Structure 1
Amino acid sequence: MQIWMCCIVYTILSVYALVTPITLTAMTLERYVAICMPLRHAELCSMRGAVKLILIIHSISSVPCTVNLSIFSATVSSDLYTNSKLCYREMFVLFPWQGHLSSAMDQFYFLIMLSVIVFSYVQIMKAAKAASGENKKSTWKDV
């Protein structure tokens, strides 16, 4: 496959590989809003908000790919794009520090998504515990 075609395929696949976990994180936030802020749910989760969220998710997902391709295009000569090679992700990593940068970005994304999911579920569990009526004594009749 020619390198220019590989760049296009790499861009699409790397963006959509990151869209899925970010979308699941956004779904967790939506559940948090629905359970913990039910009166604001309709205001925050509208069609316009969904379109904005999709654009935000895709732009966040494209950052690591954009960084890798920018470094790649800045360091290779332009005649390389017409060469044919086997297309794989590591082909775009030319220096060892690029691998470290990619790993650091992956870890950063993972920590942010983990923090959001844990926060959301802890808050949902608190709301569920409060709604379940932990204080059952107040609902009993005095005999």
Structure 2
Amino acid sequence: MVNVSGQSLDGLIHQQDLMVEKDWVFVLKVAFALATPVFFIYVNCIMLFTLYSNASFRETSRYILFAHMLFNDSILLMTSVLLYILALAFQHIMRGLCVFLVLISGTTFINSPLNLAVMALERYIAICLPLRHGEISTPKRTGVVIGVIWVLSSLEYVSDLLAVLATQPSSFFLLPVYCTREMLFGMKWQPVMRQVFDCLFFLLVSCIIIYTYVAIMLQARSVSSDKASVSKARNTVLLHGVQLLLCLSSFLCGVIEVMLARLERSSFIHIRYVSFMVLIILPRCLSPLIYGLRDENFRKLFKYYFTFASSKIKPLAGNA
């Protein structure tokens, strides 16, 4: 009964939203919300092809982790856009399909900061433990670490799914639902567990990035260290910190909506749209692009493929 009432309330609010905003502004906003992720998914695919096309990229841990970032953020953008379209149309889908979409979206969301932590650790090993870097940062071990990232990221959502399997009949997954996590997993303890998981993950990642940055700064003071290499690694880890802040900004969406819920309906719709684009979509679009274009070897080869190989001479990637 509670679920039915919740869906009816959501439907009423959604109908009011459409009555307020069914005009050319609405069309432009939807077009921008769809075109932006699609374009950057295309850019990410070019980047992935660039990485795959060069053997030195395929065999170097930091480029493997970068490729994982591109793949992960592309999946996250695709699921976010799909869920956005479903929400916009107030389209009900089978709970089983909704569980799959929410599981993928949520897991890839948590993947991002964990991947940043591993990338920071890889730079720490390269600078502070250079003699062991080749032994530790192998492609095989990097693949294992990526697998561990996916397992850790899925724990929160798998526990939600197991709770549903233990308390609901199998027919639960065949019923239509307005696809949100709250509509699927409505037990009282689940929001609390969600906050605990999120806080633990982001606290862990923050500690790792701060530790690696400080360690690399201390290494920079060493007379025997390669100043240019250390400085580049330090800036890379600092960029990971900025990327982490971009990930954290996604949590502000719900806070902003709660704070501004009392605003006039049309104003609230616009603010909700802006927060969705600025805090959820754009960080996932820009973060891989900024990181990739900082690397000179990668940038030259990416530019070659992005311009449809218009250059007569294909650039050669140096030692990765």
Normalised-by-shorter TM-score class: 0.7 to 0.9
Equivalent residue for 1:94, pick from 166, 186, 201: 186
Consecutive unaligned residues of structure 1, counting only runs of 5 or more, are 134-143
What are the superposed Cα offsets for residues 85-132 of structure 1, whole Å, 9 maximum, x if unpaired? 111111233222211111111101111111111111111111012248
Q: CA separation of 1:78/1:40 partners in 2, compared to 1, >3 Å: closer, same or farther?
A: same
| CA distance in structure 2 between the partners assigned to 1:118 and 1:92 by the alignment | 36
Equivalent residue for 1:115, pick from 194, 207, 232: 207
State the secondary structure of the residue aligned to 2:178.
coil
| CA distance in structure 1 between the partners assigned to 2:182 and 2:172 by the alignment | 16
1:136 is matched with none
Equivalent residue for 1:80, pick from 163, 167, 172: 172
1:67 is matched with 159
Cα pair 1:64 1:105 within 8 Å, conserved? yes
Cα pair 2:95 2:177 within 8 Å, conserved? yes
| CA distance in structure 1 between the partners assigned to 2:223 and 2:166 by the alignment | 57
Correspondence 1:38 to 2:38? no
Cα pair 1:69 1:92 within 8 Å, conserved? no
1:53 is matched with 145
What are the superposed Cα offsets for residues 39-98 of structure 1, whole Å, 9 maximum, x if unpaired? 111111111111111111111111111111111222222222111111111123322221
Q: Which runs of 4+ in 1 moved over 6 A?
A: none
State the secondary structure of the residue aligned to 1:27.
helix
Consecutive unaligned residues of structure 2, counting only runs of 5 or more, are 1-92, 226-320
Alignment size in residue pairs: 133
Q: What's the RMSD between the two structures over aligned residues?
A: 1.5
Percent identity over the alignment is 31
| CA distance in structure 2 between the partners assigned to 1:12 and 1:63 by the alignment | 12
Letter in 1 for 2:135: E
1:105 is matched with 197
Tell which has more relative contact order, 1 or 2 (C-alpha 8 A, sep 6+).
1
| CA distance in structure 2 between the partners assigned to 1:119 and 1:110 by the alignment | 14
TM-score using structure 1 length: 0.87
| CA distance in structure 1 between the partners assigned to 2:167 and 2:195 by the alignment | 20
Letter in 1 for 2:220: A
